[in-house]
Structure 1
Amino acid sequence: MRHIVILGNGISGITAAREIRKQCDDQITVVSAETDHFFSRTALMYVYMGHLEFHHTKPYEDWFWAKNRIELVRAEVTGMDVDAKHIQYADGQRLSYDVLILAVGSKPNFFDWPGQNLRGVQGLYGKPDLDRMEADTKGIQQAVVVGGGLIGIELCEMLRSRGIQVTFLVREDRFWKSVLPTDESALVTRHIKQHHINIRIDTELAEIIGDGAGRVSAVVTKAGEEIPAQFVGVAVGVSPNVDFLKNTPLQIDRGILVNAYLETNLPDVYAIGDCVQHRTPPDGRKPVEQIWYTGRQMGETVARTIVGKPTTYQPGVFFNSAKFFDIEYQTYGHVPARPPEDEQSFYWEHPKGTIALRINYRRRDQTVVGVNSFGIRQRQDVWQQWILDGKSIQYVLEHLPQANFDPEFSKQYESLIIAQFNAENPEHKFRIKAKRGLFSLFRG
């Protein structure tokens, strides 16, 4: 019987453990320094906002692990010995392995700002961050959030839920410039302002000032402006959590380098999740992708390989989803901030300014390559199949109701979307050919 050791109890490591246990009787040990049990990291904001208690974020009852013979160890790992095939804990104890899976996640980025070690300055990644935020925001009036992405929006919403005034510093000249096209960025920015967030575009953090007792009291921007704050949320991205592995023979660039089977350069050592960098990324994917569902997919993939069914990592059509306060956002396929020259981009926005749809398609053959949706819930299976099948913009528009996931009596916008496309492209006269039926409404 082999001993399979998994470092990290996030979605990647736990998925691997569960899938391995379904298919073999090997000994499995999961090691984590963060929490005793697996929890849903994406639900932490709702704990802070009072919608959930922490125990609600645990998908499995505490008895699940012993019943399924998955041993959980709460310990900090400080190193590994490849030749002896063991990992070392902070207290000096060692744990031997036959197979090692590194699922050590990521960590918030910091950029050596003066004062960044003051109390009340932090990122939001795990349960310890939530606990610190809970303690350090009690009774405060003002906060600053640094960084214009999804975690930044979450921090803003969390703080506003407690009546705290929030100033949101975005270094670029528009919100989430690296991801969203200009129209969508403007839509989200308006929505942020409507929720009483003081968003400051083109504003960069220079220094964090303390109160003389070890706690943050203000920030200073590179323009010299001082902004009072008793809490500073840092949301300028995350990086693979690999510092403790850099003095080992493991090959590391930005993340742990893996091949298509998620194998590292070391025998019987695999890596999955946020800590991974793909040597040859799958089609349409980036070398480092720190998304919840890709971690789950990597856990499933590596499990099959370890139980004797070698499987390459194939995540399929890119997708992601999020919420900007009240606006639901979904994206499928390829929708860059600026489309390449060989692509066209059609954008429709409702006059109320919180509902929009963008479809990108190739010029040469009209094949749809991606979609952004704001405020209209879309069916993932429909869009992914359309993109895989190379459906044309005409086909997609004429069958657009099939992708709508909103309830039956919700307001529909497909006719308005097609009317605008026809007005902008008078050579076309597309019309809806496929309505939503009971099958499309209730499947999935």
Structure 2
Amino acid sequence: MEHVVVVGNGIAGVTAARHIRKNSDKKITIISAESEHFFSRTALMYVYMGHMRWQDLKPYEDKFWDKNRIDLVQAYVEKIDSQDQILHMADGQTLNYDTLILATGSLPAKYGWEGQDLEGVQGLVSKQDLELLEKNAPNNEVCPKAVIVGGGLIGVELAEMLYTRKIDVTILVREKGFWSGILPDAEAQLISEHIQSHGIDLRHEEELDKIIADGNGKVKAIITKKGEEIPCNLVGITTGVKPKIDFLEGSGIETDKGILVNKLLETNIQNVYAIGDCAQQREAIGLRKPVEAVWYTGRMMGETVAQTVCGTPFEYNPGNWFNSAKFFDIEYQTYGWVFSSRNKKDYEQHFHWKHPDNTKCITIAFHKKSLQFLGINTFGIRMRHEVLDRWLNERKSIDYVLQHLSQANFDPEFYKKHESYIQATYKASKQTA
């Protein structure tokens, strides 16, 4: 019987295993050093905040795995012998495979700062990171002050987590606005102001220079590149993530930033695949980045590779870009492409509307000449994925989108309608253009 081994039990690896089981009777083993069972990584913050228990993060009952004949091995894969198809574990165990799916995820990216390995310096990606945070910052007596280096989604999540335990937080971001490398300036400014309204000391155009020790191997302060010393008990590193691929050295599996794969998610080694955060596309897929550390793309890759492994070769095609997140009290959604002000395309024009309460706004990107709808960002207003995805596929115009915006409004019974105000603003912008 063919033995399929999946390394990594995140959303990508578990989805692959589930769909292989749906379509075959192959022997399946999932290996993970992080946790015994699959858990919802995006909900880690809610355990620390007291909204959920650890066991609430498991989407499947523990008996699910035996019932579906999926073997679980809790171990760390230290080396891969791709020639003889053997996995070598850190504890000395070995495991043979016929088909190997690498879904090893990502790690916090560090950039060689002095003191980055001190006690009290950490990221927020894994279950172990959450456990370490409980040790480093259980309350504001043990940890009265924290500094978060970098913005983005993990940075704002960590800030909100610490805020719930009344820990004083400073965030250092390189840009003029929060996440302005991704968001247009007006949106970045709105989010910056919202974060600051919660008492967070958000420092724009500021970077970490080095981390200072207290003499006992623990962090006691950081020094910014402007020379300011900020005392702290915790340094959160949220300057992005990188694929976890260090264990592949000598395996013969080709890597760059991540594990190089084609559209079938195949590596250069026969019967070895890579999916999720650790995979890097050899060929560009539209405007998408070659490595995408996003929950739903991992799930899509898992479904895709399962088809190929089960004898029906299927190319990975994630469709239109979309994502969602939460910045404290403001929910964010994005569909299609709305580039930041500094990365804006030559053909791209933006229409922006902001509610007077400064907690709701939208930005719609469209083609300057054809007026084709290219993408939308929404803050504080929920939109329907299926409607916006269809409009992108049908290449509707911005005029059409604005005229029919109510169709995309999510839960109109329970949320105030803003379409008339948005349409009036757009009409006025056209008259003054």
Provide TM-score, normalisation by structure 2.
0.97
Letter in structure 2 aligned against 1:425: K
Matched, 1:348 2:353: yes
Match of 1:251 in 2: 254
Letter in structure 2 aligned against 1:258: V
Match of 1:95 in 2: 95
* Distance of 1:107 and 1:409 partners within structure 2: 39
Matched, 1:27 2:27: yes
Match of 1:315 in 2: 318
Deviations 1:248-275 (A, max 9, x none): 2111010000001000000100000000
* Distance of 1:378 and 1:121 partners within structure 2: 38
Matched, 1:369 2:400: no
In the alignment, is the contact (CA less than 8 A) between 1:146 and 1:205 conserved in 2? yes
Letter in structure 2 aligned against 1:229: C
* Distance of 1:88 and 1:183 partners within structure 2: 51
Displacement, 1:207?
A: 1.1
Displacement, 1:222?
A: 1.1
Paired residues, what number? 428
Displacement, 1:174?
A: 2.3
Which is worse superposed, 270-279 or 419-428? 419-428
Letter in structure 1 aligned against 2:75: A
Displacement, 1:140?
A: 1.5
Pairing 1:421-432 to 2, within 5 Å after superposition:
421-426=426-431
Displacement, 1:28?
A: 0.2
SS at match of 1:426: helix
Matched, 1:161 2:164: yes
* Distance of 1:427 and 1:147 partners within structure 2: 38
Matched, 1:38 2:38: yes
SS at match of 1:220: strand
Choose the corresponding residue for 2:419, options 414, 423, 427.
Answer: 414
* Distance of 1:400 and 1:352 partners within structure 2: 21
* Distance of 2:115 and 2:121 partners within structure 1: 9
Deviations 1:33-83 (A, max 9, x none): 000000000000000000000000000011110110000000010111111
* Distance of 2:151 and 2:91 partners within structure 1: 39
Deviations 1:194-242 (A, max 9, x none): 0100000111111111121221111111111110101111000000000
Matched, 1:399 2:372: no
Unpaired segments of 5 or more residues in structure 2?
A: none
In the alignment, is the contact (CA less than 8 A) between 1:80 and 1:88 conserved in 2? yes
Pairing 1:264-279 to 2, within 5 Å after superposition:
264-279=267-282
* Distance of 1:114 and 1:199 partners within structure 2: 22
Match of 1:229 in 2: 232
* Distance of 2:113 and 2:202 partners within structure 1: 21
Match of 1:440 in 2: none
* Distance of 1:299 and 1:76 partners within structure 2: 21
Matched, 1:117 2:117: yes
Unpaired segments of 5 or more residues in structure 1?
A: 429-444
Which is worse superposed, 405-414 or 182-191? 405-414
Match of 1:15 in 2: 15
In the alignment, is the contact (CA less than 8 A) between 1:246 and 1:252 conserved in 2? no
* Distance of 2:22 and 2:7 partners within structure 1: 19
Deviations 1:71-130 (A, max 9, x none): 000001011111111111012221000000000001001111111111111000010000
Matched, 1:73 2:78: no
Q: Given the superposition, is the C-alpha separation of residues 22 and 242 from structure 1 closer, same or farther in structure 2, using an over 3 Å criterion?
A: same
Deviations 1:290-330 (A, max 9, x none): 10000000000000011011100010000010000000000
Displacement, 1:281?
A: 2.5
SS at match of 2:119: coil
In the alignment, is the contact (CA less than 8 A) between 1:376 and 1:406 conserved in 2? no
* Distance of 1:335 and 1:37 partners within structure 2: 37
Displacement, 1:407?
A: 4.0
* Distance of 1:306 and 1:93 partners within structure 2: 25
Q: Given the superposition, is the C-alpha separation of residues 173 and 21 from structure 1 closer, same or farther in structure 2, using an over 3 Å criterion?
A: same
Match of 1:390 in 2: 395
SS at match of 2:22: helix
Match of 1:432 in 2: none
* Distance of 1:367 and 1:209 partners within structure 2: 52
Displacement, 1:177?
A: 2.0
Match of 1:381 in 2: 386
Letter in structure 2 aligned against 1:281: A
Match of 2:2 in 1: 2
Match of 2:179 in 1: 176
Matched, 1:360 2:396: no
Letter in structure 2 aligned against 1:25: D
Q: Given the superposition, is the C-alpha separation of residues 387 and 254 from structure 1 closer, same or farther in structure 2, using an over 3 Å criterion?
A: same
SS at match of 1:15: helix
Letter in structure 1 aligned against 2:374: V
Match of 1:145 in 2: 148
RMSD: 1.1
SS at match of 1:425: helix
Which is worse superposed, 403-412 or 298-307? 403-412
Deviations 1:152-208 (A, max 9, x none): 000100000000000011122322121001000000000000010000011111111
Q: Given the superposition, is the C-alpha separation of residues 328 and 416 from structure 1 closer, same or farther in structure 2, using an over 3 Å criterion?
A: same
Q: Which runs of 4+ in 1 moved over 2 A?
A: none
* Distance of 1:402 and 1:419 partners within structure 2: 17
Of all paired residues, the percent bearing the same amino acid is 54
SS at match of 1:408: coil
